[in-house]
Structure 1
Amino acid sequence: MVKVLVFGSFDLLHEGHKHFFNEAKKLGDSLHVVVARDSSINSFKGHQPKFNENERVEHVKKLGIADDVRLGYEGDKWKVIEEIRPDIIALGYDQDSYTKGLEKGMLDRKLKVKIVRLESYMPEKYKSSLIKKSID
């Protein structure tokens, strides 16, 4: 069974996220979504998300696409990867800051994981930062 893992903040879910989940799911048999903690988003992006971490988990679950949706761990981003032991990690087209050191970290932990970057879906319309600006 091929496990696919995706991760991100998934605040203000939109069609781009749905497309991302559906494309990632096509890569394997099960899709595992790790939703970033509020503290991680604040650290990476410099602001709190519109929806808190538990709300964002519920929003992703309600889409009915993922087989498993969970929060990441505070402070240890590798723990959830080691638990799930994915065959594939699917990255969004714009997930650069989240993924620095990902390949090296996998090698250091002796995890054999294929890393795939998925194409964007109408980024001029469906990009979280653009949507956030339009509602602020």
Structure 2
Amino acid sequence: MTRVVAQGTFDLLHPGHVHYLREAKALGDELHVIIARKANVSHKQPPILSDEQRREMVAALEPVDFARIGHDTDIFVPIEEINPDIIVLGHDQHHDEAELEGALAARGIDCSVARAGPRESQYDDELLSTGKIIDRVCRERC
């Protein structure tokens, strides 16, 4: 059995998230998704939705077998517990594959790292970014 891990913030789910998770699932038999804790999101604006609400939404998606909230201080703890064969990064995630592979090796975690491709827009007003969704809400509702 090939175990795959995907991870991310998953705030305000959109088709890009579903595309990422479908691509990740296609690489294995079992997809585990780690949802970043709001307190640990420092590379962009913090999520709007709570950790548990984001986990519940991701867990409801068809490709996902297991969804959990990440560790509060060490991002590698859930990866060690899951023991994946592959970690799949989203096409626009800020992680560097080589750095991640080095950190995994240093922790004794033997798995490969792959990157999902982007989802091409399917129609003119499709939004594939949480930030763009928020911007539109602010423009049209605020």
TM-score (norm 1): 0.90
Supply the RMSD in Å over aligned alpha carbons: 1.8
Note if contact 2:4-2:27 (Cα within 8 Å) is conserved in structure 1.
Answer: yes
Which range moves more in the overlay, 95-104 or 77-86? Answer: 95-104
Which range moves more in the overlay, 15-24 or 118-127? Answer: 118-127
Note if contact 2:38-2:51 (Cα within 8 Å) is conserved in structure 1.
Answer: yes
Instruction: Give the corresponding residue for 2:5.
Output: 5
CA deviation profile, 1:19-69 (whole Å, cap 9, x unmatched): 11111100000000000001012x232x33111100000111122321100
Instruction: Give the corresponding residue for 2:60.
Output: 62
Runs (4 or more) in structure 1 with deviation over 6 Å come to none
Amino acid at match of 2:14: H
Distance (whole Å) between structure 1 residues aligned to residue 117 and residue 67 of structure 2? 22
Distance (whole Å) between structure 1 residues aligned to residue 32 and residue 96 of structure 2? 17
Instruction: Give the corresponding residue for 2:128.
Output: 126
Amino acid at match of 1:81: I
Q: Which has the larger radius of gyration?
A: 2
Amino acid at match of 2:16: G
Secondary structure at the counterpart of residue 87 of structure 2 = strand
TM-score (norm 2): 0.87
The gaps in structure 1 that reach 5 residues or longer are: none
The gaps in structure 2 that reach 5 residues or longer are: none
Q: Percent identity?
A: 38
Which range moves more in the overlay, 102-111 or 50-59? Answer: 102-111
Secondary structure at the counterpart of residue 94 of structure 1 = coil
